[in-house]
Amino acid sequence: MKSYQQRGLILVAALPFMLVLAGCGGGASLLPPTGGAASAATGSIAFCTTRDGNHEIYVMNGDGTRQTNLTNNLALDATPAWSPDSTNIAFRSERDGNSEIYVMNADGSAQTRLTNTSTAESAPAWSPDGSNIAFQSDLVGDYEIYVMDADGTASTNLTNSPGLDLHPAWSPDGSKIAFKSERNGGSEIYVMNADGSGQTRLTSSLGVDLHPAWSPDGSEIAFTRREAGGYDYEIYVMNADGTGQTNLTNDSSAADLGPTWSPDGANIAFQSNVLGSYDIYVMNADGTARAKLTDTADKESWPAWSPN
């Protein structure tokens, strides 16, 4: 696969398919902390919002300041994903009639389509070396995990499973991809080698597991879980081998979704409707000291923290 060529670099200082999640605000306010203090000051967070009347990709500082519209397009734009050097953002857009993968500079310029099919492509995820992008596509009739060169060429189906395979996430060393799969009747987190071999289930929940996200050191995976018979979603974390699964949010009356790690691994950002509307929150990596980063009556979702 070819090396990625950068496209003009300026760095500024949703809904996934087939799931009952929020769509894609504002100042920062705080919920009562449960101990410690979420620093959340490093890097930038891209996210999806409906505050302009349609779904747009915004970016803000890690503390919630300087919220800026990057896409400015009347069509749905969602699921942002940073390149490993934080100079580009891949995302899905419906601006050309169906959902395709696009890429833009980190300031929103040079928005370029990478995929061009009659089916739906979404949830892009960059390889750590920047040469490839994994994504989900229903090109063969059900959703599979694909990988392509970062310029959109050489697309390859990695999963080839009869069940839905969604939400790819690369390990920091580039050797593995975690993903959500429904191949065994449930919704579980799996992991595979970067070439699609060695597909292994990590969770065995009776509920719904989705949205895997590797910690920067590769030792842990955060994910979203809805317990069997329940209606709320929670942020969990587990060791990279699937052991030590721990509920971080414990909001029995709210939906907490879509975790993403800060570059130093100290914090996790996510979306939550704990106060009514969906906003972006941040907490310490152990679940303490939750802070609200966006604050509108609109829907904020799919946060993605820049690698640096």
**155-166 pLDDT per residue, tens:** 999 999 989 999
pLDDT for 42 = 83
**CA angle (172 as vertex; 212, 284 as ends), nearest 5:** 60
20 pLDDT exceeds 90?
no
**174-199 pLDDT per residue, tens:** 999 999 999 999 999 999 999 999 99
- The first and second tokens of residue 304, run together, are 């993605």
Closest CA to 181 of 212, 155, 156, 157: 212
Query: In the chain, where are the structural domains located?
Result: 29-305
The residue that leads in pLDDT, 38 or 273, is 273
pLDDT for 230 = 86
Q: How many CA atoms lie within 13 A of 209 on its CB side?
A: 30
The residue that leads in pLDDT, 304 or 28, is 304
**65-118 pLDDT per residue, tens:** 999 999 999 999 999 999 999 999 999 999 999 999 999 999 999 999 999 999
> How many residues appear in the chain?
308
pLDDT for 231 = 87
CATH architecture of the region 29-305: 6 Propeller (2.120)
**118-143 pLDDT per residue, tens:** 999 999 999 999 999 999 999 999 99
